Amino acid sequence: MAQGEIRNYAVHARSTDTFGRVLCNVRNHHFIVDGPVQNGAPGEEVTPAELFLTGVAACGVELLQSFARADQIPLRSVKVDISGMLDRGNPVRKDVSVLNSVHLKFELTGVTEAQGTQLIDRFKGR
């Protein structure tokens, strides 16, 4: 795939009969998302913030694998732990709600420290 190729993605979400519970559809996959308990939602299923962090972590794993394969780096496994913090009392921006901080921790096997740093720096540059 060429570097500049355009990719399109579509997700559909709709309310359910349970306040704060959302039915989501992505291609042929269906799943439930709950708003957090603090919003009066059930908070039983994965929340939107958790889905956002999941997407970043999964992207990190998949991209490092892709980069390593393309560069013939012998990466055996990738583990990413991610955490985010939202402090509504100290917003980063007044006009939009964003996480105050996000921290990623990568654990790679099969590569040297220099190779791991190269892969992670490439991910961070995306």
2 pLDDT above the threshold of 60: no
pLDDT tier for residue 3 given thresholds of 50, 70 and 90: low
1 pLDDT above the threshold of 60: no
63, 109 contact by CB (below 8 A): no
Instruction: State how far the Cα of 109 lies from the Cα of 98, in Å rounded to an integer.
Output: 32
pTM: 0.87
Q: Token pair for residue 106? A: 């990568």
Query: In the prediction, which pLDDT does 73 show?
Result: 97
